């Protein structure tokens, strides 16, 4: 299957995100891991930005808000989706109000993932993403 987009999975925990990675692969979305906020920073400083970031609610050295702020500083648009282990309406509303593209919880069923990644894939098809330097991403 052809890769339609690239995702960054930011989590200190692995099992739940392994299921997410499998669901993304079924939708043609490639992925790479960052196990901390610091690793996410390093990835976003390099060429080849992911089109979408799936971030855990908490990380060993940060949280979803720090990842969202990092994504907002990138020169090209990167969508952020917050991945929670459970439904939390307050957290959902907070994430959306602060600029997250979406908020999801397991299980990561095919219909849900198709809906979640559709907009990202559409944006990628419509918007040529220029090669840019990551040197100034904080």
What SS3 state is found at 23?
Answer: helix
Tokens found for residue 62: 């940060």
DSSP 102: E
For the chain, which domains are there?
5-126 (3.40.50.2300)
CA atoms 115, 99, 33, 46: torsion sign: positive
- The pLDDT tens digits of the residues spanning 42-69 come to 999 988 899 999 999 999 999 999 999 9
Q: How high is the mean pLDDT of the chain?
A: 86
Segment 71-94 shows an average pLDDT of 95
For residue 123, the model assigns a pLDDT of 65
For residue 63, the model assigns a pLDDT of 97
- The pLDDT tens digits of the residues spanning 19-29 come to 999 999 999 99
What distance in Å separates the CA atoms of residue 12 and residue 36, rounded to the nearest whole number? 6
Surface-to-core class of residue 20, CB atoms within 10 Å of its CB (0-12 exposed, 13-18 middle, 19+ buried): buried
Model pTM score: 0.86
């Amino acid at each position: 299957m052809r890769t339609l987009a690239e995702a960054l999975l930011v989590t200190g925990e692995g099992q739940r995100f392994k299921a997410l990675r499998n669901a993304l692969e079924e939708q043609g979305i490639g992925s790479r891991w960052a196990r901390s906020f610091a690793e996410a920073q390093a990835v976003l400083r390099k060429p080849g930005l992911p089109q979408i970031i799936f971030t855990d609610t908490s990380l060993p050295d940060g949280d979803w808000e720090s990842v969202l702020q990092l994504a907002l500083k990138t020169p090209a648009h990167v969508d952020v989706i917050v991945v929670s282990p459970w439904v939390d309406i307050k957290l959902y509303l907070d994430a959306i109000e602060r600029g997250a593209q979406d908020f999801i919880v397991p299980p990561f069923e095919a219909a849900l993932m198709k809906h979640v990644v559709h907009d990202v894939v559409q944006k990628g098809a419509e918007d040529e993403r220029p090669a840019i330097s990551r040197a100034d991403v904080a």
